Structure 1
Amino acid sequence: MTTLDVSAVRTRFTGQVIVPGDTDYDTARGLFYGGTDSRPAVIIRPVDPTEVAGVVALAHETGLELAVRCGGHNPVGLSSVDGGIVLDLRQLRAIAIDVDERTVWAQTGLTAGDVTKAVAEHGLAVGFGDSATVGIGGITTGGGVGFLSRKYGMTIDNVLAAEVVTADGQILQVDAGSHPDLFWAIRGGGGNFGVVTRFKYRLHEVPGVTGGLLMLPATADVVHGFITEAAAAPEELSVIVNVMPAPPMPFVPAELHGSMVVFGLVCYAGPADEAEKVLAPIRALAEPIADMVRPITYPEMFMEEGDDDYHPTATARNLFTDQLDHALVTQILERLDTAPAPMRVTQFRPLGGAVSRVADDATAYSHRGRPFMVNVAAFLDGPDTKAEREQWVLDTSALIANGEPGAYVNFLAEDGAERAREAWPAGTWERLTQVKRQYDPGNLFRRNVNIPPA
């Protein structure tokens, strides 16, 4: 390792170079989630792919560890690094929409909200996740499960091409016919294979959706009914079913604050009259506490993130499960009722539809046939609460798990290293390690759920 010559680095890059002592250093190093406090030696914001390659070269020259940041949403702070180099892509914000072709080239400094709003002006959409502030680079390389997944597939299912800066500084244009192994790997393999500087996405005609928040009381009948109805619904419907204490929002009666509710996020990508018919059985499960589901533009599905100074800290576990019967839902609710954390959540995402119509080996995401994704989380009140909250999350997850072990790489947290083989099982793992050996044999890109080179 060598000492970083800051003045030389500033001369070398047109983009911002931020180091400790600069007035904007603390803001620049901040991440979405709390719980980490990394202090990089330097944060560099390149202005083009050539400068991205220059940052990669700098990491080789200095021996400093490299972290790549898009939106900064990694739950355990992998997009920053103590004493190392943060390659912050936020200045790569070019976007080029081809309305006739229904495609968009978008640089990876853009967020899901940025791209969604831009293409919605033409009545078009590409599905990302459920947060507007997540970076498109991170969510896409990991897979992308969100409000349009059952209708139009995961984000990676709509990637047509990409531009990638590899560990040796090459700037490659990749697609199904050019570097097809790398193109396969960056669709679900995370940030292990290079720095993606832009993606070309297929767009879909989505002039509007019927969507929003549907809050219901959390009984076993309601939770089981919501999940079951959503899973059996036409694939135009995608939902996120959060079972959690009612937050103190203005539309929630004060006497219900803290009581267990279903905080359902609903998105129907089809005609409004059809949406009403499909949603009727879900609405009929109980008298809604709040029903904000209505015809809206697709960008309105992304709820406001709130206070920029709010950085939640939680312990969480992600898994796939094959069965969520009434008895199991009852047990989950009992655990939520007696949890040690004042704020805890179990989140259910029915999958299927377009997600399941893609072969497991078509992309590096290997869980196409799994019907449900589940996330269990407990928020921390301080470091002394972590151990008991972690144990509650582990025990609750063990109760829910059935079918083959599995995990979604974008939602892995502290357990990322030990569960990488669950994210990428068997043949997928072996293939990824071979691609890693070809494009990053020295494992430069290791601040991630890491895949070591074969």
Structure 2
Amino acid sequence: MTFTSRLAPDLEGRVIGPADPAYDGARTVFAAHIDHRPALIARVAGPDDIARVIANARETGSELAVRGGGHSPAGHGVSDGGSVIDLSALRSLELDAARRTVWAGAGLTSGAFTVAAGEHGLATGFGDTGSVGIGGITLAGGIGFLVRKHGLTIDNLLAAEIVTADGRLRRVDAQTEPELFWALRGGGGNFGVVTRMKYRLHPVDTVIGGLLVLPATPEVITGFVAEADAAPDELSTIANVMLAPPLPFVSEERHGSPVVMARMVYAGEVEAGERALAPFRALAEPVADLLRPLRYPELYPDEQASRLFAVARTMFAGRVGTTQAETILERIGESSATLAACEIRVLGGAVARVPADATAFTHRASRTMLNVAAIYDPSTSERSEHEAWVRGLSAELDDGDPGAYAGLLDDEGPQRVRAAYPGTTWERLAAVKATYDPDNVFRLNQNIPPDA
């Protein structure tokens, strides 16, 4: 009897096996270098289904993956030969506009959530891509367009429902099983399968947002970072230093030249936003200025992100000065990737006002997050070549901040996972793991082994 035929009669949801026409689509994740073939994919209908799949995996010794949106850089949403719990059908949304709270199913994407909340002029901050599942980004931390104004996604998480390794459904919050609730806010998928989450909503309707493209020089890069750091909390920025791709809003003579391609969102009054954006526009004559007043959900267009062959490394830094800017520009010019970039996200604001030990995301004092990335064509170059380039530039930009953001880690080994959870945070998480998953059933993730 196959895993699929054994489990299928017991589930309300759908079990997809290798012979199913939907199999290839269901096993595909966004990290294009991942080509795993699970024994079964259970598109679960609720907590009872999840408990049965967990029990089946434990009985058979099958590796267990949990898939939300499928955006894990390491491809953790799919097992090679094991079982997958697919949460995509868990798309409930119960919004209380008066109390500004919402219960949302873990299978929702951040785009779908944002559109639904936006109908009431409300929002919770997630990331910057609408196709990302809210479960994965929430459990990792959540750094997006509202991060300086309203904090990380986990700073707005009020409660969660989770099926733990024993098959039990638990509703946890700051009063009920508070240590597990603490661990869920940044500790990833180590502790069970989250099925629903309760979020705080904020009034966010019309914002000034979009894209500002500037010519990249050391002065512009350092000026941009300094202005982003000094800007009002209402302004969050995501700036990529890269060679300009052939986009329709970039003039042809600029194609291939270094640019700062910045996504910017001012979550406040339009007039104040224009004043806050003026210093950035003054750094240099813009290559393109697509900043405008728009409704917040428009930042998440209704489209799927492309599957990409990519190598990336995430890190935190205290500052980006002239030396770092010069290094970024020099190394990007040397890369043979289809697109090489260094993404700079200035933090601070609401993120830094939360105590470091309040959640499992402890990097509150870090001023900047850097993500070095190379997107490549596997038909013309080897992955190892781009891995070496990413490692090299990351090492040059390392200013001693040992941290890493779990949500953007690839399969980089135990030391990098420890970097995501430094100091006593690791010991505390390992103790929670020992309580709720002593056998490490949930190990296909940025894994925190249970404390012996």
- Residue matched to 1:382: 378
What is the 5 A alignment of 1:166-185?
A: 166-185=164-183
SS at match of 2:279: helix
Unaligned segments of structure 1, at least 5 residues: none
Is residue 2:421 matched to residue 1:424?
yes
Q: Percent identity?
A: 53
Aligned partners of 1:4 and 1:62 also within 8 Å: no
What is the 5 A alignment of 1:14-413?
A: 14-303=12-301, 305=303, 310-382=306-378, 384-413=381-410
Once the 2 structures are TM-superposed, how far is the Cα of residue 416 of structure 1 from its aligned partner? 4.6
Q: Which deviates further from its counterpart, 432-441 or 310-319?
A: 310-319
SS at match of 2:390: helix
Q: Could you report, residue by residue, the CA deviation over 1:121-160 in whole angstroms, capped at 9, with x for unpaired residues?
A: 0000000000100000000000000000100010000000
SS at match of 2:253: helix
Aligned partners of 2:126 and 2:142 also within 8 Å: yes
CA–CA separation in structure 2 for the residues paired with 1:225 and 1:353: 18
SS at match of 2:239: strand
Aligned partners of 2:3 and 2:40 also within 8 Å: no
TM-score (norm 1): 0.97
Q: Could you report, residue by residue, the CA deviation over 1:371-406 in whole angstroms, capped at 9, with x for unpaired residues?
A: 000000112222852222111111111111113311
Aligned partners of 2:109 and 2:130 also within 8 Å: yes
Give, as a single letter, the amino acid of the residue that structure 2 aligns with 1:330.
E
Once the 2 structures are TM-superposed, how far is the Cα of residue 223 of structure 1 from its aligned partner? 1.3
CA–CA separation in structure 2 for the residues paired with 1:390 and 1:5: 37
Give, as a single letter, the amino acid of the residue that structure 2 aligns with 1:436.
K
TM-score (norm 2): 0.97
Give, as a single letter, the amino acid of the residue that structure 2 aligns with 1:388.
E
CA–CA separation in structure 2 for the residues paired with 1:417 and 1:244: 30
Aligned partners of 1:35 and 1:76 also within 8 Å: no
CA–CA separation in structure 2 for the residues paired with 1:401 and 1:179: 38
Q: Could you report, residue by residue, the CA deviation over 1:212-250 in whole angstroms, capped at 9, with x for unpaired residues?
A: 011111111111111110111010000000011212221
CA–CA separation in structure 1 for the residues paired with 2:318 and 2:248: 37
| Structure 2 CA distance for partners of 1:18 and 1:225, relative to 1, 3 Å | same
Aligned length: 450
Q: Which runs of 4+ in 1 moved over 4 A?
A: 303-306
CA–CA separation in structure 2 for the residues paired with 1:242 and 1:261: 8
| Structure 2 CA distance for partners of 1:240 and 1:416, relative to 1, 3 Å | farther
Q: Could you report, residue by residue, the CA deviation over 1:310-355 in whole angstroms, capped at 9, with x for unpaired residues?
A: 4111111110000211222112211112223231000000000000
CA–CA separation in structure 2 for the residues paired with 1:276 and 1:220: 25
Once the 2 structures are TM-superposed, how far is the Cα of residue 364 of structure 1 from its aligned partner? 0.3
Give, as a single letter, the amino acid of the residue that structure 2 aligns with 1:173.
R
| Structure 2 CA distance for partners of 1:8 and 1:338, relative to 1, 3 Å | closer
Q: Could you report, residue by residue, the CA deviation over 1:278-318 in whole angstroms, capped at 9, with x for unpaired residues?
A: 11010011111111111111111225655x6x411111111
CA–CA separation in structure 2 for the residues paired with 1:93 and 1:414: 29
SS at match of 1:20: coil
Q: Which deviates further from its counterpart, 409-418 or 278-287?
A: 409-418
CA–CA separation in structure 2 for the residues paired with 1:162 and 1:440: 17
Aligned partners of 1:165 and 1:195 also within 8 Å: yes
Q: Which deviates further from its counterpart, 172-181 or 413-422?
A: 413-422
Q: Which deviates further from its counterpart, 337-346 or 207-216?
A: 337-346
